[in-house]
Chains A and B, each alone.
Chain A
């Protein structure tokens, strides 16, 4: 029997699946974060140039990676929603946006904390910092536009179009800012050449990156469930199956 993937485009089908998957991803996130922090703080050696302050990269770099990845994934769901006209895709995009904004904010904040002892300043108008700040603006724009439109269907499509315009613009903004000014060190990790850092540091960072993935998936699924309930409040399956159970749990 062929597996019908379209089944998973239905909020009714996804709601219980997301409910079962979210705790698993959350547990994985916790375990990986504990392991990553242990490697980062106790196993990884002290950097000979930056001392102990470099250890913030175990949070900073995964958050920065996630901030960019989540925007692309969000735009992808918006594109799927626009093309296939599926409601769930837009709900996914909406569920991802706050996590993306949070990751962007963490990347900026930890970067400032790291910049003070290392560069001697909280903030510089450097290419990467500036483009990360602009990314935060794009997330905020997406969420504000969605929040400003009452009709959910229109809000989904308008915010989706904005996300797509943003994703076309992100490389342009990134390169223009890069040519404009740069101080941030180049990427230490790349797929094409050997990493320029100790193996344990790299391991710690990759484990933390995986933890960030798991966390982002878990909270997005939890948020997705909330969005589904909110939008499908009048659907039969919510009224008959979910609402009584929720009411029972609260009393």
Chain B
């Protein structure tokens, strides 16, 4: 696999080459425009920090609401980042070139989603345990939270990509994306937050984690395909 990727990277040909090129390009763009990426990251931190101020600093209450708060904030932050995924490429015509390219759009879209998740999802996974500490969560719950986010945030990026593609160039796309995408996020929220709560009450988290992993596999199969279809509709 590594050898195939290496040759593909050198020649930039074939399916793997196209995939790697898309990922590299989007990562490079993200590095060049760091502020865009950091916005959703700090948004996540600020939203989580608002809750103790609103609810009060009582440790038992905070411990109880922490899983839900962190997950809802992750949902909102990943939704907020969606406009970066396709809108820029749609505006400058890059997306049209991807549609016209000889490689299947589904795979290119998967590359874009992967790059997007690496830039917006991974930081949430890494910072979440620190925020959990502020809510006085025990160690094993923090580990479960990080693992749950690791499985759940790619699902959010995949489902979000469908919403982002459907609202390309549409009036009031920002609010509309929330309306389309947030109801679809609900299962991830339920089992992500449920896993942390289960860990805190000493129950097994295997069921929650298995379902999150199942959502991930299912969305890897379905979401890039639906996103590609939505992009084609927008390009007509």
Which candidate, A24-32, A172-180, A203-211, A216-224, is the interface stretch facing chain B?
A172-180
- When A154-B236, A157-B233 are in contact, do A172 and B187 touch as well, CB less than 8 Å? yes
Contact A134 B180 (CB under 8 A): no
Whole-angstrom CA separation of A144 from B167 in the bound complex: 11
Contact B190 A141 (CB under 8 A): no
- B172 at interface by CB-CB < 8 Å: yes
Interface of B is mostly: helix
Interface of A is mostly: helix
Question: Within the complex, what minimum Cβ distance (angstroms) separates B197 from chain A?
Answer: 11
Contacts of A179 in B (CB 8 A): 190
- A21 at interface by CB-CB < 8 Å: no
Whole-angstrom CA separation of A175 from B40 in the bound complex: 31
- A138 at interface by CB-CB < 8 Å: yes
Contacts of A180 in B (CB 8 A): 190, 194
| Contact among A144, A157, A177 for B186, CB-based, below 8 A | A177
- When A162-B166, A172-B187 are in contact, do A145 and B233 touch as well, CB less than 8 Å? no
| Contact among A140, A148, A153, A164 for B236, CB-based, below 8 A | A153
- When A145-B167, A168-B222 are in contact, do A162 and B190 touch as well, CB less than 8 Å? no
- A119 at interface by CB-CB < 8 Å: no
- A149 at interface by CB-CB < 8 Å: yes
Question: Within the complex, what minimum Cβ distance (angstroms) separates A158 from chain B?
Answer: 5
Q: Mark B190-227, 1 if CB is under 8 A from A, else 0.
A: 11001000000000000000010001000000100010
Which of under 10, 10 to 19, 20 to 34, or 35 or more describes the interface residues of B? 20 to 34
Contact A173 B180 (CB under 8 A): no
Contact A145 B162 (CB under 8 A): no
Contact B236 A141 (CB under 8 A): no
- When A137-B179, A148-B171, A180-B194 are in contact, do A165 and B226 touch as well, CB less than 8 Å? yes
Contacts of B215 in A (CB 8 A): 172
- When A148-B172, A161-B229, A180-B194 are in contact, do A141 and B186 touch as well, CB less than 8 Å? no
- When A137-B183, A148-B171, A165-B226 are in contact, do A158 and B190 touch as well, CB less than 8 Å? no
Q: Mark A217-245, 1 if CB is under 8 A from B, else 0.
A: 00000000000000000000000000000
- B184 at interface by CB-CB < 8 Å: yes
Whole-angstrom CA separation of A172 from B170 in the bound complex: 28
Q: Which of B171, B184, B215, B230 has the most CB of A within 10 A?
A: B184
- A169 at interface by CB-CB < 8 Å: yes
Contacts of A154 in B (CB 8 A): 233-234, 236
| Contact among A137, A138, A158, A168 for B230, CB-based, below 8 A | A158
Question: Within the complex, what minimum Cβ distance (angstroms) separates B145 from chain A?
Answer: 18
- When A148-B170, A148-B172, A177-B190 are in contact, do A138 and B222 touch as well, CB less than 8 Å? no
Contact A162 B180 (CB under 8 A): yes
A151-205 residues at the B interface, CB under 8 angstroms: 153-154, 157-158, 161-162, 164-166, 168-169, 172-173, 176-177, 179-180
Contacts of B222 in A (CB 8 A): 168
